[in-house]
Structure 1
Amino acid sequence: MTTAVRTVVPGALTVALVAIGGLHLIWAFSPWPLADKVTFTKTILGSDSGTMPPPALSALVGLALIAGAVLTLMVNETIPELGPNWLRTLGSYALALVLLGRGLGGFLLNSGATDEFQRWNTALYSPLCIALGLLGGVVAVAASKR
């Protein structure tokens, strides 16, 4: 179990956070991989507006997710650590809580949202955030015990 906690769990969390963060960075400039802005807003935002979020906001979310991946690698002692240990550990708990919060609270976002968003949020977005939050919790607890 300890090998999985030291390698598989932080590795999976890091890869997922970088991939999702990268998507958010792309969304600062484009609705890719979706066909157009209307499809994007229906599927990703749950609205029919066709108005993309401000590029700076999408980029900020993307960078925050990638920062969470870097923090995970620092807490796991895979890359050189910056700052005090207690701050990195606190940050890893905060990351886990934010992801769990989006996952559990995300089901509330279905109210009034487009059918496309409700379907994707129920099947993928919220469950993925819950899973990533749990992985983040495992990393944070393991880091606390070091």
Structure 2
Amino acid sequence: MKGTAPRPASRAAARAVAGLLAADGLLHLYWTTGATWPAHDPRTLSIAVLGSEVPFTPPVLLPLVAVLLTGAAAVLAYGQGLGGRRSRPLLRLVCLAVTAGLLVRGTVGLAWALGVGEGAGETFDRLNTLLYTPLCLGFAVAAARVAGVGSRLGARLGARVGGRLDARRAGRRAGRGGGRGGERIGKPKRAVGSPR
């Protein structure tokens, strides 16, 4: 069953975010085999990716792979307008969680890039500044677009302001539109001497 039709920009953003998450998930799945590409050994890989030594073993990586691939599927489904009445809120919740995760990682990466905390090594610092942080912040914005974070708030504000403006315009038109002495059309006339 299809949900509401998403905007083309939201669909494109969903494909981009889902693609990034899926690629990251597949790369982590590849590392569960013991391969260390693009590094020469597990220690170098860990320091380049995380900034510290963490074992790149299946018990550590497989839960992350599951989260990344689930997030990719949910973002893509929500962005394409898939899901019924019951599943759409859950898909949106996953989109919001992806947005939050990317935003937190991007913000922390920005703090690291600005020198907060201990240095994790030249390789990680360079990758964090030039690749990880910009990707996370940019894709956080894209994921927020998919989830409708800014558009829903804007639509609510726009509806309120627009509704008030429409009411004022209608009142002005009614005031010019044929009533005597500037009376609004549709407003009942009171008879002289009648109670208020």
Instruction: Sort the TM-score into its range (normalised by shorter chain).
Output: 0.7 to 0.9
Q: After superposition, give the CA deviation of every residue in 1:5-51 in whole Å (9 maximum; x if it has no partner).
A: 22x2111111111111111111223212222223212311223x5x5
- Read off the aligned partner of 2:76 and give its amino acid letter: L
> Could you tell me which residue of structure 2 aligns to residue 71 of structure 1?
74
Superposed displacement of residue 80, structure 1: 4.9
Report the 3-state secondary structure (helix = DSSP H, G, I; strand = E; otherwise coil) of the residue aligned with 2:148: helix
Does structure 2 conserve the Cα–Cα contact (< 8 Å) formed by 1:74 and 1:82?
Answer: no
Does structure 2 conserve the Cα–Cα contact (< 8 Å) formed by 1:100 and 1:133?
Answer: yes
Does structure 2 conserve the Cα–Cα contact (< 8 Å) formed by 1:75 and 1:81?
Answer: no
- Out of 99, 103, 122, the residue aligned to residue 102 of structure 2 is 99
Unpaired segments ≥5 residues, structure 1 = none
> Could you tell me which residue of structure 1 aligns to residue 126 of structure 2?
119
Which structure: larger Rg?
Answer: 2
TM-score, normalized by length of structure 1? 0.81
> Could you tell me which residue of structure 2 aligns to residue 11 of structure 1?
15
TM-score, normalized by length of structure 2? 0.62
Q: Of the two structures, which has the highest relative contact order with CA contacts closer than 8 Å and spacing of 6 or more? A: 1
Report the 3-state secondary structure (helix = DSSP H, G, I; strand = E; otherwise coil) of the residue aligned with 1:31: coil
Superposed displacement of residue 117, structure 1: 0.4
What count of residue pairs does the alignment treat as equivalent? 140
**C-alpha RMSD over aligned residues:** 2.4
Does structure 1 conserve the Cα–Cα contact (< 8 Å) formed by 2:24 and 2:68?
Answer: yes
Aligned-pair identity (%): 31
Unpaired segments ≥5 residues, structure 2 = 1-6, 153-196
Q: Indicate whether 1:28 and 2:32 are aligned.
A: yes
